[in-house]
Amino acid sequence: MEQIVKYIRENERRYIDEMVALLKIESVSSDSGKKGEVRRCAEVLVKKLRDSGFENAKICETGGHPAVYADWLHAKGKPTILVYGHYDVQPVDPIDKWTTPPFQPTIKGNSVYARGSSDDKGQLLTHFFAIEAFLKNGGKIPCNVKIFMEGEEEGGTGSTDKFVENNKDLLACDAVAISDTAWHEEKVPSICYALRGLAYFEVRVKGPGRDLHSGVYGGKIQNPLNAMAKIIAKIQDEEGVIKIPGFYDDVVKLTEAEKKEFASLGNPDPEMIKDLGIPKTWGEKGFTTLERNWARPSFDVHGIWGGFTGEGSKTVITTEGGFKFSTRLVANQDPKKIEKLVDKYIKEICPPGVTSDVRMLHGAYPVMVPIDNFFIKSAVAAFEKSFGKRPVLVREGASIPITATFLKVLKAPSILMGFGLPDDNIHSPNEKFNLDNYQKGILANAYMYDAFGKK
C-alpha cells in the first residue's frame, strides 16, 4: 500500500482538474434538452475507464439514459465488488440563487462549487481514482471490481432498475460500494448501514355528483372534505403512533448497541429547533429524534386539495377532495404489504356517505446491512486509516431505491461510505464538495479495496 498511497498523494492536483472537467458537463437527466450532454458524460467516463486500465468499458443502453459499465476480474478467489454511482445531476433552478455559475466549477476556500460536485460526480470519482492507483502501480487490484454508473438517478424512468433485473449475471457481485451520502456532521465521519423505504399514496374521497349549496344540503349529507380530515386524523394518534393495524408487525427493533451508537452523536434537538424556527420537535413517543428518523416508520401528508380556496367566500359542499401521503418504512417492512394494510384501513374508517379510493403511487424497499458484516468492518477500518478517526455507524431516514434492487436481484449488501457534508447543498443552489474529503476519500477507498482483497 505504500506505493499506492504515494501515487494518490502525488496526483492530488490532477484529481481536482479531472473532477472540474467532469463537472462542466451539463448532464441534467430530467431535462430533455440536455439529453446529448448526459450521453457525452457517459462517453467521457468510458474513455477514462479504458485509459486507466479497466476492461470491457462500454455504454449500456437501458431504454432511458445510458449506463456505463467496466470491470477488472483477475483476482482469483477474491470478492467481487460492484462500484455504483450516478453521473447525472439535478436541475440548477433557481439559477438566480447561485453565487457562481453551476457548470463553471469554482474553488473557494477548500471546496469546489458546481452542480453535481457532491451528488454524485465528485464522490463517484473517489472510487475511480482509488482503483486507478492500483492499476497504474502493478496493474492489478486486490479484489475483483465492476463499475456500474447510471445516468438517470436524478430524473429516471425506472430503466436502470429494469437493466439491473435483466443483467444480473453481468452485475453479479458480493457487495456494492456506494459513495452518495453525507456525514452526520462536518467533523463526524459516518458510514450508513440502513436506509428507510417508502410507500407513497394518493387518496380521493368522493361525495355528491355535483357541488352543492351548504345552506340547502349542510347537515343532510357527508361533506367529502370533512370526511377526508377525519380519515387523516385517524391514521396517526397524538403521540405519533400510526394506527393502521399490523403496520408495525415486521419492524426490526433497535438493539442496545445501536441505541448507544446513536446516543454518542449527542442530542440534535436544540440546534434543529433553532435552525427550523419551530417551538419543539415531535414524533413517536418513547424514541429519540435520531431513533425516530433512522429506525422507526413515519407518516406525513404532502398535499391536500378540494373545494373553494379562492378570494372571498363560497358556501359550497364540493363533490370530491383528496390528499397525498407517504410512510417511510424501516428494515423488514414490505411496501406491498403496507399497501394492502393502508387500503383496508382507510376503507374501514371512511365515514358513511362518501367513498374512498386509495392508490399507491410509488414504493421502495428499506435496506439494512448487519454491522458485523465483513465489508462494513473493512470500510470502518479504511475510514479510520484515512481520516484518523473511527466513523460512526448510522442509519439514514431517506431512501436510495437502487440499493433495494441490488439486494433483491443481486443478493448483495450495499456499503454506503459517503464523503459529503450536511451543508453541501445537494439539490440546491451553490452545491459544493469539500476537497479534503475528496482526497482523503480516494485514499480511504484504496484502503478499503486492499482490505477486501484479504478476505
pLDDT of residue 133: 98
- Residue 451 predicted with pLDDT over 70: yes
Q: Are 192 and 207 in contact (CB under 8 A)?
A: no
Choose, from 119, 153, 396, 431, the residue flagged as catalytic.
153
- Residue 222 predicted with pLDDT over 80: yes
pLDDT digits (tens, 9 = 90+) for 99-150: 999 999 999 999 999 999 999 999 999 999 999 999 999 999 999 999 999 9
- Which amino acid, 242? I
Confidence of residue 79 (pLDDT cuts 50, 70, 90): very high
DSSP structure string for 85-141: EE--B----SGGG-SS-TTS-EEETTEEESTTIIIIIHHHHHHHHHHHHHHTTTS--
- Residue 434 predicted with pLDDT over 70: yes
Please count the helices (runs of H) and the strands (runs of E) in the chain.
14, 18
Choose, from 26, 88, 132, 154, the residue flagged as catalytic.
88
Distances (CA, A) of 318 to 121, 216, 435: 49, 13, 56
- Residue 52 predicted with pLDDT over 90: yes
Q: Give the helix/strand (H/E) hosting 359.
A: strand 355-364
In the chain, the domains with their CATH numbers are 2-195+366-452 (3.40.630.10), 197-251+297-364 (3.30.70.360)
Confidence of residue 155 (pLDDT cuts 50, 70, 90): confident
pLDDT digits (tens, 9 = 90+) for 251-303: 999 999 999 999 999 999 999 999 999 999 999 999 999 999 999 999 999 99
- Which amino acid, 4? I
Residue 304 buriedness (CB in 10 A; 0-12 / 13-18 / 19+): middle
pLDDT digits (tens, 9 = 90+) for 320-373: 999 999 999 999 999 999 999 999 999 999 999 999 999 999 999 999 999 999
Confidence of residue 398 (pLDDT cuts 50, 70, 90): confident
Q: Are 41 and 151 in contact (CB under 8 A)?
A: yes
Using a pLDDT cut of 70, give the percent of the chain over it: 100
Q: Are 284 and 308 in contact (CB under 8 A)?
A: no
Q: Read off the C-alpha cell for 67.
A: 449506463
Confidence of residue 400 (pLDDT cuts 50, 70, 90): confident
pLDDT of residue 162: 94
Concerning whether 88 is annotated as a catalytic residue, the answer is yes
Concerning whether 119 is annotated as a catalytic residue, the answer is no
pLDDT of residue 156: 67
